[in-house]
Amino acid sequence: ASLRDVVQALDTELRTFDIPDYGGAVNGLQVANRGTVRKVAVAVDASRAAITEAAISGANLLVVHHGLFWGGAQPLTGVHYEKFRTLFGADIAVYSTHLPLDCHPELGNNVRLAQALGLVPSAGFARYKSIDVGVMGDANEPTANVLARVEAFAARYGGSVRTSIPVGSRTTKRWAICTGGGASTETLREARERGVDTLIVGEGPHHTTVEALEHDFCVIYAGHYATETLGVQALGAWIEARFGVPWTFLHLPTGS
């Protein structure tokens, strides 16, 4: 397929230029290639390892959730130089999609994680400007069961899970999911205000655990990496279905 066609299709499907995001995200095509896409690699992070593995795999389009420009306008020197040298040397384009992928109603990290955990979303969660980054829904089952499924999921992606409080014999009646760095003073407040009793996130700083404890509120920290592996995979499959180009997932866990 032509790079132009794939990029245009992704921009449309993900509403790349309509979804708000942080400045460093630079959503959309971040680096071009010579114009055709023969194979797609998808990864959570545009790290040196991901770029190297993409080159080895023969891919010439790398789709990532965390792109190359979070550090702003940086010189291409050191590790940064090596990454771009590999990209240009192997003619690999990079397409990055941060919040547009988190919030996509079918391919998104949050919707897909809910599905993987057997939870059915009924509303958005984690307001950011004009969008809901995450999802929420109702349930009625022991929180220990939910936790067991989260643990099985995290294990599958090489991660581990901790909770803000022992789940004991609690029941999950309303849950919310916000993948990645999803625990913050704001998401905890929103969760409490909207009657959520179980909040599943990737990670969050120490003070979010303290705040959760104070309110006797259950946060399940399932790992930043693990919770964001599903969106890019869904996107890989979507590209193959649409353009007949094969894809591969580069599994590069970080322990975080």
- The site for its own copies (CB under 8 A) is made up of 23-24, 26, 28-32, 45, 47-49, 66, 69-79, 81, 84-85, 88-89, 162-164, 180-181, 185, 202-203, 205-210, 213-215, 221, 224-225, 254-256
Residue 112: closest CA among 240, 253, 236: 236
C-alpha 32/C-alpha 49 separation (Å) is 19
Of residues 56 and 213, the one with the C-beta less far from its own copies: 213
Nearer CB in complex with its own copies: 221/238: 221
DSSP letter string, 51-69: HHHHHHHT-SEEEEEE-S-
Nearer to its own copies, 15 or 48 (CB): 48
Q: How many CA atoms lie within 13 A of 138 on its CB side?
A: 1
What per-residue string of b and e applies to 172-209 under the rule 16 or more CB within 10 Å gives b?
Answer: bebbbbbbbbbbbeebbebbeeeebbbbbbbbbeeebb
> Are the beta carbons of 135 and 110 closer than 8 angstroms?
yes
Task: Name the minimum Å distance from CB 174 to its own copies.
Answer: 19
Q: How far is the CB of 11 from its own copies (least distance, A)?
A: 12
In the complex, minimum distance from the CB of residue 178 to its own copies, in angstroms, rounded to a whole number? 14
Nearer to its own copies, 15 or 207 (CB): 207
Task: Please state the closest distance from residue 255 (CB atom) to its own copies, in A.
Answer: 5
Q: Which residue has the tokens 């655990």?
A: 209
- At closest approach, how far in Å is the CB of 40 from its own copies? 18
In angstroms, the CA 248 to CA 240 distance is 10
Q: Which residue, 171 or 254, has its beta carbon nearer to its own copies?
A: 254
DSSP state, residue 2:
B
Smaller CB separation from its own copies, 86 or 115? 86
Distance CA 115, CA 149 (A): 11
CB of 248 to its own copies, least distance (A): 20
